[in-house]
Structure 1
Amino acid sequence: MKKLFLKYKHGLWLLYVFFYFPCFSYLEKTVTTQFHEIHMSVDDLIPFCEYFIIPYYLWFLFVIIAVIYFFFRDASEFNRFCIFLGVGMTLFLFISAIYPNGHYLRPENFPRDNVFTDLVRLLYESDTPTNLFPSIHVYNSVAVMLAVLYSRYLKKRPVIRWGSVVLTILIILSTLFLKQHSLFDVLTAFLLAFVMWGLIYSPCAVKLAGKKPVGDNKAQQI
């Protein structure tokens, strides 16, 4: 048991969910009508498109699979990934708590009636249009993409690398076309992700950490 714990002690990061989800649930229940509206004029120009519900829901698998992969593959890469996720998600909770926010972008009536709009209805029923920025859907997608692109184990896996880029782009677009987020939420997620990239993955950060740039070390591929 001791050897097993030492091997997977980086799994302690997973305890963060017992902090995040109760806090998020509390905010979802308390921030309902009294909030600051998030809106940009360009939001009104983006049409609603229910087909983006597919990449929107794929986000959950995207993040979960990445967490599982890096957990078992490499502790150092898993730690960097979790720091990236944890800092952004914690800042999101803090911002939502001190600056309650929401939007009125969701359509009152869907232009079409099909299985995809049915899925969007389910999404709207389970997720309130509040606590929006920075968009965690966008931020966590970028976090996964960067973890994949900077992984030394996935350096020679172009399908996985490019697949992560394409899926990240589709997920980001889905937040806009499903009227889940304002462009402002997307831009602030990008800004926060850029700051975290600078602190974790940039050449300067790698140098300060005393590590070789990712990809220099030979590693067994899976």
Structure 2
Amino acid sequence: MNFFKSAKQLIKKYKHGIILSYFFIYMAWFTYLERTVTTVFTPVHSKLDDYIPFNELFIIPYCLWFIYIFVTIAYFFLTSKTDYYKCCAYLFIGMTICLFIYTVWPNGHYLRVNLDELGRSNIFIDALSKIYSLDTATNVFPSIHVFNSIGAMIAINKSERLHSIKWLQWFTFVLTVMICLSTVYLKQHSVMDILGALILNIIMYVVVYVPAWGKEAKQLKQELSKAS
């Protein structure tokens, strides 16, 4: 009896986790696009891409992205519903916009290097080879990798619990920059994909966080008015 009571309380406490079911929709949609958008697409390219050298060491921050996003969402899920809802709204709506763009405007690139012709072999190249085989060079603009990284950084920065932790703010900033750089140094994305993600971040920031700013500013103005 106590078990069912505890389970019921736990479900009630964490019922906000239901919105994480979005990942099933996302993965189904993204997988469909990966299987259908293969050869017929608009190439995304910038002249700057040609000057960026390939460096397999960037596989480290590139893969840290998965942990970064998971830990960010999990932390807010367990500690703050307000931050959790804002973070999820920011990321999920943005990711959906990306998928919509991929659907109506199939895009990709021809930037990847031939790993077999590099003349060297190491654990980083082996890991990247695996990623190349699983992730096609399509559905790249805007970059979801870049969009989510910046979104997570903003969510951490806007959190009342975390905003004052300076080392964390600097750490997430550096990690985000390294992840963004990794996408072009591994030839997973074009500079244009990063630009597209930056523009989408600006839009989502205005949608998710600016209204809250306006409300807080109005409340602060009313409190100052009463005090005077």
Which residue does the alignment assign to 1:141?
149
Structure 2 CA distance for aligned equivalents of residues 102 and 6 of structure 1 = 43
Q: Which structure: larger Rg?
A: 2
Call closer, same or farther: CA 1:10–1:211 in 2, change over 3 Å: farther
How do 1:71-220 and structure 2 match up within 5 A?
71-108=77-114, 109-110=117-118, 112-202=120-210, 205-208=211-214, 210-211=215-216
TM-score, with length taken from structure 2? 0.88
Structure 2 CA distance for aligned equivalents of residues 121 and 15 of structure 1 = 30
> Per the alignment, in what secondary structure is the counterpart of residue 179 of structure 1?
coil
Which residue does the alignment assign to 1:48?
54
Structure 1 CA distance for aligned equivalents of residues 128 and 118 of structure 2 = 10
Deviation at residue 158 of structure 1 after TM alignment? 1.5
| Structure 2: gaps of 5 or more residues | 1-6, 219-228
Moved more, 163-172 or 192-201: 192-201
Counterpart of 2:73 (choices 61, 67, 92) is 67
After the TM superposition, list the runs of 4 or more consecutive aligned residues in structure 1 that deviate by more than 6 angstroms.
Answer: none
| Structure 1: gaps of 5 or more residues | 214-222
Which residue does the alignment assign to 1:18?
24
Call closer, same or farther: CA 1:143–1:111 in 2, change over 3 Å: farther
Number of matched residues?
210
Structure 1 CA distance for aligned equivalents of residues 27 and 21 of structure 2 = 11
CA contact under 8 A between 1:100 and 1:131: conserved in structure 2?
A: yes
Structure 2 CA distance for aligned equivalents of residues 212 and 78 of structure 1 = 22
Structure 1 residue identity aligned to 2:135: D
Which residue does the alignment assign to 2:41?
35
Q: Deviations over 1:145-173 (max 9, x none)?
A: 00111110012322211111010000000
Structure 2 CA distance for aligned equivalents of residues 107 and 142 of structure 1 = 26
Q: Deviations over 1:72-125 (max 9, x none)?
A: 010010000000001111011111111111100001233532221111111111
Moved more, 148-157 or 80-89: 148-157
CA contact under 8 A between 1:67 and 1:78: conserved in structure 2?
A: yes
TM-score, with length taken from structure 1? 0.90
